Chain A
Amino acid sequence: MKCIITIELGTNGVRVFAFNLSGRVIGSMKGYFPTFHTEPDHSEQDPEQIFITTLYVLKNLLNEFIHPKKYEVACICFSASMHSVLAVDKNGNPLGNAITWADNRAKKEAQELRYSELGKKLYAATGTPIHPMSPVVKIAWMKNRDKERFRLASKFLSIKSYIIHQLTGEYNIDYSLASATGLLNIHTVAWEADALQYAGITSTRLPDVVPVFTSAGKLKKAYQQSLRLPSGTKILLGSSDGCLATLGDGVKGVGKATITIEDSGAVRVMGPTVLKDEQMRFFNYLLTDDCYVSGGPTNNGGNILEWFSRQFGEFTNPFDMENSLQQLIEEASKVPRGSDGLLFLPYLLGERAPIWNANARGMYFGLNIKHERKHFIRATIEGILYEIYSIGKTLGEQRNIKSLSVNGSFGTIPFCTQMIADMFNKPVRVRQQYHSVSFGAYLLSATEMGIYKSLDEAAQTVELPDVFKPNKQHHAVYADYFSIYEKLSIKLADEFEAISSLQQKYAVTDAPVKKSKTGSKSR
Chain B
Amino acid sequence: MNQFVLQQGKSAELLLFPQILEVGIKKIGSIQLNAFSTTTTDGLRIYYIIEGRFEWRINHQTYIYYPGDVALILPGTPFGSDNGVLEIGSFTWIQLSLHRLDNGQIQPGKWSGLSETETAAIGKTLLLNSMPVLSRFNEVGKILKCIHAELFGNEVGYQASINHQLDELLIQVARKMTKQSHANRDFPKTFMHLEEVLRQDLAHQWTVEEMAALVGMGTTLFTERVKSYSGFSPINYLINIRISEAIKLLKRPEISVTDIALDTGFYSSQHFSTTFKKLTGYRPSEFRKNHLRNK
Judging by beta carbons under 8 Å apart, are A518 and B281 in contact?
no
A514 CB contact (under 8 Å) in B184, B185, B196, B255: B196
Binds B, one of A126-134, A314-322, A385-393, A438-446: A314-322
A264-B156 Cα distance, complex, nearest whole Å: 63
A215 at interface, CB cutoff 8 A: no
Known: A48-B248, A318-B184. A518 touches B230 (CB 8 A): no
Q: List 5 A-B contacts (CB under 8 A).
A: A32-B237, A48-B245, A90-B295, A91-B291, A93-B251
Q: Mark B257-284, 1 if CB is under 8 A from A, else 0.
A: 0010001100000000000011111100
Judging by beta carbons under 8 Å apart, are A34 and B185 in contact?
no
How many Å from the CB of B128 to the closest CB on chain A?
A: 15
Q: Which of A51, A225, A324, A516 has the most CB of B within 10 A?
A: A516
Judging by beta carbons under 8 Å apart, are B240 and A517 in contact?
no
Judging by beta carbons under 8 Å apart, are A32 and B248 in contact?
no
Q: Which of A90, A93, A319 has the most CB of B within 10 A?
A: A319
A399 at interface, CB cutoff 8 A: no
B230 CB contact (under 8 Å) in A32, A221, A226: A32
Judging by beta carbons under 8 Å apart, are A222 and B281 in contact?
yes
A111 at interface, CB cutoff 8 A: no
A59-B231 Cα distance, complex, nearest whole Å: 13
* Interface of A, helix, strand, loop or mixed by DSSP: mixed
Judging by beta carbons under 8 Å apart, are A518 and B263 in contact?
yes
Judging by beta carbons under 8 Å apart, are A34 and B217 in contact?
no
Contacts of B278 in A (CB 8 A): 226
Contacts of A57 in B (CB 8 A): 231
A49 CB contact (under 8 Å) in B241, B259, B291: B241
* Interface of B, helix, strand, loop or mixed by DSSP: helix
How many Å from the CB of B216 to the closest CB on chain A?
A: 9
A207 at interface, CB cutoff 8 A: no
A32 CB contact (under 8 Å) in B201, B229, B281: B229
A55 at interface, CB cutoff 8 A: yes
Q: Mark B213-244, 1 if CB is under 8 A from A, else 0.
A: 00001000100010001111000110011011
A92-B290 Cα distance, complex, nearest whole Å: 11
Closest to B239 in A: A56
A223 at interface, CB cutoff 8 A: yes
Judging by beta carbons under 8 Å apart, are B244 and A46 in contact?
yes
Contacts of B245 in A (CB 8 A): 48, 516, 518-519
Judging by beta carbons under 8 Å apart, are A59 and B279 in contact?
yes
Which of A200-257 touch B at CB < 8 Å? 220-227
Interface residues of chain B, those whose CB is within 8 Å of chain A, are 183-187, 190-192, 195-196, 199-203, 217, 221, 225, 229-232, 236-237, 240-241, 243-245, 247-249, 251, 255, 259, 263-264, 277-282, 286, 291-295
Contacts of A225 in B (CB 8 A): 281
Closest to B256 in A: A523
Judging by beta carbons under 8 Å apart, are A55 and B280 in contact?
yes
A227-B280 Cα distance, complex, nearest whole Å: 9
Judging by beta carbons under 8 Å apart, are B231 and A13 in contact?
yes
Interface residues of chain A, those whose CB is within 8 Å of chain B, are 13, 29-32, 34, 46, 48-49, 51-53, 55-57, 59, 90-93, 220-227, 309-310, 313, 315, 318-319, 321, 324, 513-514, 516-519, 521, 523
In the A-B complex, the 7 residue pairs with the smallest Cβ-Cβ separation, listed nearest first, are: A222-B281, A226-B281, A32-B230, A49-B244, A318-B184, A48-B244, A31-B231
A46-B195 Cα distance, complex, nearest whole Å: 13
How many Å from the CB of B223 to the closest CB on chain A?
A: 13
How many Å from the CB of A34 to the closest CB on chain B?
A: 5
Contacts of B255 in A (CB 8 A): 523
Judging by beta carbons under 8 Å apart, are B279 and A52 in contact?
yes
How many Å from the CB of A229 to the closest CB on chain B?
A: 11
Judging by beta carbons under 8 Å apart, are A319 and B240 in contact?
no
Contacts of B248 in A (CB 8 A): 48, 519
Contacts of B241 in A (CB 8 A): 49
Known interface pairs A32-B229, A48-B248; 5 further A-B residue pairs with C-beta atoms within 8 A, sorted by A's residue number: A30-B231, A48-B244, A222-B282, A324-B185, A519-B245
Known: A91-B295, A313-B185. A518 touches B259 (CB 8 A): no
Contacts of A321 in B (CB 8 A): 185, 187
A460-B202 Cα distance, complex, nearest whole Å: 51
Contacts of A59 in B (CB 8 A): 279
Contacts of B295 in A (CB 8 A): 90-92
How many Å from the CB of B227 to the closest CB on chain A?
A: 10
Contacts of B240 in A (CB 8 A): 31, 49, 52-53, 56
Closest to B226 in A: A32
A48-B184 Cα distance, complex, nearest whole Å: 30
Judging by beta carbons under 8 Å apart, are A34 and B249 in contact?
no
Contacts of A93 in B (CB 8 A): 251, 291
Judging by beta carbons under 8 Å apart, are A52 and B244 in contact?
yes
How many Å from the CB of A235 to the closest CB on chain B?
A: 15
Contacts of A91 in B (CB 8 A): 251, 291-295
A321-B184 Cα distance, complex, nearest whole Å: 10
Judging by beta carbons under 8 Å apart, are A517 and B249 in contact?
no
A356-B283 Cα distance, complex, nearest whole Å: 49
A521-B246 Cα distance, complex, nearest whole Å: 13
Contacts of A519 in B (CB 8 A): 245, 248-249
How many Å from the CB of B95 to the closest CB on chain A?
A: 32
Q: Which of B199, B286, B292 has the most CB of A within 10 A?
A: B199
A398-B245 Cα distance, complex, nearest whole Å: 49
Judging by beta carbons under 8 Å apart, are B221 and A34 in contact?
no
Known: A49-B244, A91-B295, A518-B264. A31 touches B232 (CB 8 A): yes
Judging by beta carbons under 8 Å apart, are B231 and A29 in contact?
yes
Judging by beta carbons under 8 Å apart, are B217 and A318 in contact?
yes
A86-B288 Cα distance, complex, nearest whole Å: 21
A52 CB contact (under 8 Å) in B247, B263, B277: B247
Closest to A223 in B: B281
